[in-house]
Amino acid sequence: MPAHLLPSRPFAQRHHPPPKLLDNLLRDYVCQHYTYDARGNLLERLDNGKKARFTWDLYDRLTRYEDDRLNADFAYDALGRRVAKYSKAHCPPGAGPAWIEQQQRTLNAQYDCGRNIYGWDGDTLAYETRYSDNPGERRLIHYFYEPGSFIPVAQTVENRNLSLVREPSHENGYHIDRDPLWQHQPVAKPFNAMAWYQCDHLGTPMELTDQRGEIAWSGTYQAWGLAKEKRTDSATRENIRNPLRFQGQYFDTETGLHYNRYRYYDPQVGRFISKDPIGFAGGLNVYAYAPNPVGWVDPFGLKKGSGSRNCSCDQSSPPNPDGRRGKESTREHIDSVSSELESRGWNVTHGGNGLGEEYLPGSGGGRKGSSYPDITAAKGDRVLRVNTVDTRRDGVTPTTRESRNAQRIRSQRPTDHLLLIPKPKGK
């Protein structure tokens, strides 16, 4: 350092200790300012002087959004899945009722406001419908996915409202033979359009191609998922659109957020707007999405996972904070085996050192009879799978359940190698 830059006298002694970090809330970013409630949920977002307000219920679920353009209300089922969204644009006072009604329709169309109902197949969005008195605004979209995953394959579009069955009050007692849901006979109806998803290595939709093989929708993404969309004129006429983003995420035009099953994700800043429901089991940063958005995904909004296209969704039970790889001691054992394989020249592709497990679908292509080997590794043209197994008293012989699992994996991949390694005692 040049002598003239040295201080002429010693620095004053610090009388106060440096401030301690009390939380990891994002309070300012570029021109945006954020305010949170006592539970860590985002309450207000100030963006260049424009204020947006967020309202939460006792289960830390977002129930209302409002800004100077519109307001949106959200409803959830008993499993915490969002089943309805109703948004309406703010209409300024006008010359008369007819003008106000016309202006309301114009603004609703501009901001894509309306009444939406969502249906689920486990934790994946099966369909959504837009209810409207205007036949031109009605739509019913069904989504189809790769087996056991959140990766979309196709969507069908129908220009109609979803037909709902009215449930009676059952004031005189419930009987299944009188329940209209069980008596109803659905009738298959043709769809108006169909489109196929073209996804990247993470399973993020990059394009939608229509029945003519032409690109109907395309998206250009920033690293943390903020997308710039492009729709063709034919896609607009056929009502083809795509709200799906990273695995498990649904884009809300009203808020700019991505609904991510258990939480809402903000692609502007690459963070969730509320704390992780599973606490520190999902990581030390309870607002983080993933350490690397081009190699990791978080379909549930709970915990990061491998960005492999085999990232699975277990739809039979709520997600386990520890994942399929078991408790911490089991994961440590699997990671130790993975490190040993890598030291011997194997490339571990699944299951070890934080990677998600490989998904082997059942004989019918679905979850029934599927398998999840603990580790998958490759060396040249050879593939090795490893299962760490529970054993009998001798500490060597696998249990009946483990033997059956091994037999199923060998039948699914007969040309590859499977290695069974006994778990250490207490694992």
- CATH of residue 151's domain is 2.180.10.10
Domain boundary residue, one of 257, 281, 305: 281
**Assigned domain for 109 exists:** yes
What is the spatial distance between Cα 247 and Cα 231, in angstroms, rounded to a whole number? 21
Tell me the residue range of the domain where 192 lies. 24-166+175-281
Residue at token pair 């003239």 = 4
Please check whether residues 143 and 241 belong to one and the same domain: yes
Please check whether residues 355 and 416 belong to one and the same domain: yes
In the DSSP assignment, the letter for residue 288 is B
Checking if the pLDDT of 244 tops 80, the result is yes
What is the spatial distance between Cα 344 and Cα 395, in angstroms, rounded to a whole number? 25
What is the spatial distance between Cα 53 and Cα 47, in angstroms, rounded to a whole number? 11
Half-sphere exposure at residue 306, Cβ-oriented, CA atoms within 13 angstroms: 22
pLDDT tens digits for range 288-334 = 999 889 889 999 999 888 765 545 554 334 444 444 556 677 788 88
In this structure, what is the dihedral angle of CA atoms 59, 122, 225, 30, given to the nearest 10 degrees? 0
**Assigned domain for 298 exists:** no
What is the spatial distance between Cα 334 and Cα 329, in angstroms, rounded to a whole number? 9
**Assigned domain for 315 exists:** no
Checking if the pLDDT of 83 tops 80, the result is yes
- Return the closest-CA partner of residue 157 out of 213, 84, 223, 240: 240
Instruction: Please report, for the domain that includes residue 384, its CATH number.
Output: 3.40.1350
- As a whole number, mean pLDDT of residues 158-187 equals 85
Quick one: tokens of 13?
């002694």
Please check whether residues 410 and 269 belong to one and the same domain: no
Please check whether residues 247 and 389 belong to one and the same domain: no
- As a whole number, mean pLDDT of residues 75-103 equals 89
Residue at token pair 């009676």 = 168
State how beta strands 205-209 and 215-221 pair: antiparallel
**Assigned domain for 79 exists:** yes
Asked whether the beta carbons of 311 and 79 are under 8 A apart, the reply is no
DSSP E strands, 2-136: 28-29, 32-36, 42-47, 50-56, 62-66, 70-76, 82-89, 115-121, 124-131
- As a whole number, mean pLDDT of residues 66-86 equals 97
**Assigned domain for 17 exists:** no
Checking if the pLDDT of 98 tops 80, the result is yes
Burial class (CB in 10 A: 0-12, 13-18, 19+), 355: buried
Please check whether residues 159 and 249 belong to one and the same domain: yes
Q: How confident is the model at residue 381 (pLDDT cuts 50, 70, 90)?
A: confident
What is the spatial distance between Cα 224 and Cα 192, in angstroms, rounded to a whole number? 34
Average pLDDT, the chain: 87
Please check whether residues 380 and 240 belong to one and the same domain: no
Checking if the pLDDT of 13 tops 80, the result is no
Checking if the pLDDT of 361 tops 90, the result is no
Checking if the pLDDT of 86 tops 80, the result is yes
**Assigned domain for 137 exists:** yes
What is the spatial distance between Cα 367 and Cα 316, in angstroms, rounded to a whole number? 10
Please check whether residues 269 and 354 belong to one and the same domain: no
Please check whether residues 261 and 329 belong to one and the same domain: no
Please check whether residues 55 and 141 belong to one and the same domain: yes
**Assigned domain for 299 exists:** no
Please check whether residues 157 and 65 belong to one and the same domain: yes
Domain boundary residue, one of 230, 264, 281: 281
Q: How many residues does the chain have?
A: 427
State how beta strands 417-422 and 382-389 pair: parallel
Please check whether residues 150 and 88 belong to one and the same domain: yes
Domain boundary residue, one of 251, 281, 311: 281
| Percentage of the residues of the chain whose pLDDT score is greater than 70 | 88
Angle CA 40–42–43, to nearest 5: 115
- Print burial letters for 388-410: b (CB count within 10 Å at least 16), e (below 16): bbeeeeeeeebeeebeebbeebe
What is the spatial distance between Cα 335 and Cα 351, in angstroms, rounded to a whole number? 8
Number of structural domains the chain divides into:
2
**121 or 304: whose pLDDT is higher?**
121
- As a whole number, mean pLDDT of residues 407-426 equals 87
Please check whether residues 277 and 406 belong to one and the same domain: no
For residue 307, the model assigns a pLDDT of 67
**Assigned domain for 287 exists:** no
